[in-house]
Homo-oligomer: A and B are copies of this chain.
């Protein structure tokens, strides 16, 4: 386990070995020590606001990003304040390390205790949002882990400034936070293959990053991922509730993974509901595509043809595809076939039908009469989030401190041997 891969560059290897050594020390910090460090980090960020904003301005000046990407990279004074608040929020969360999850005694007298322990070294590959840098450092530190960051190259000056400040905070063990060179494409690949040095890797970003990690990684990965999310309006829906939820799930922030991309309507209410929701979505500037039945029910309205690829696609934009389904089971089958298993909702007043949907739709978050937009660590009450897991192993959905730990069995004997 401790043998380093041969293929690492000297620079990456040094940083990963430094994180590896630091991990044991971070893991032994008491809750009080970790909270003191987080409070001090908040002070340091506040003390260096101008320096951070200047670095961010340099990144923005050097980049030729699209408007939405620039917005993700941009730090404003208000956003800096939010960064500091995130440090405070993580400080307020309970420390998962050392928590005893179960304890029992065997007939031979062996006492077995299952306790939470840090993962060790957590790697994260992400894009250009500077808040991810601070959230990841805060969450990994509080959960007793060293962290290796590999951010986007557009955010390089911002991340260097943030990491310099965080690492320089009194009490932070040397090596607890390492920033890999985001100018080098190799550094991401190296992180993916650093078995024995990195315990877990969290990729946060678009489908191409995730796919690259899944293909390349030999270290264990918590996949995050795309959200091709559905709202299904049942025949027993309150249509006013349906309107609110469909409009909110589609339009409140269309560029994020928990925004709805697809609308399914039960055929018994389709004659009434399809023209009504089409009008409202078009009024909200949503471009619409529909199956044959949807288009025939909204004949004078501007609804394009939805092709097979549409049902698979996460638009991340003000666009939505609509289908009419004959039954609840057909809605469930459609979602389980096309969904990315992120977040899917049913609107209905019928509890039995809702429960069937909640049980049978195989997604990380399934909603009854609520917007899919709530799939988020903060909205779930988890504090800051490390990501939203789109896999079934280890954790699923938004994850935070407890999911940044592993467990260990501690066994207390009095000389027991096996027969």
Contact = CB atoms under 8 A, between A and B. Distances in A.
Interface of A: 1-3, 24, 28, 104, 106, 110, 112, 117, 119-120, 195, 199-200, 214-215, 218, 220-223, 238, 241, 244-245, 247-249, 252, 312, 336-341, 358-360, 362-371, 373-375, 379-381, 391-397, 406-419
16 contacts: A2-B338, A110-B374, A119-B393, A220-B223, A220-B393, A244-B415, A245-B417, A247-B417, A252-B419, A364-B409, A365-B408, A366-B410, A369-B415, A370-B414, A393-B394, A397-B408
Which of A120, A391, A409 has the most C-beta atoms of chain B within 10 angstroms of its own C-beta? A409
Given A374-B110, A381-B104, A393-B393, A365 B409 contact: yes
Contact of A370 (B336, B369, B374, B416): B416
A340 B408 CA distance: 14
B200 A371 contact: no
Interface of A: prevailing SS: mixed
A406 B120 CA distance: 23
A417 B120 CA distance: 38
A336 B24 contact: yes
Contact of A200 (B195, B221, B312, B392): B392
A1 B229 CA distance: 13
Given A120-B362, A413-B368, A373 B418 contact: yes
A411 B407 CA distance: 28
A255 to B, nearest CB: 14
B381 A409 contact: no
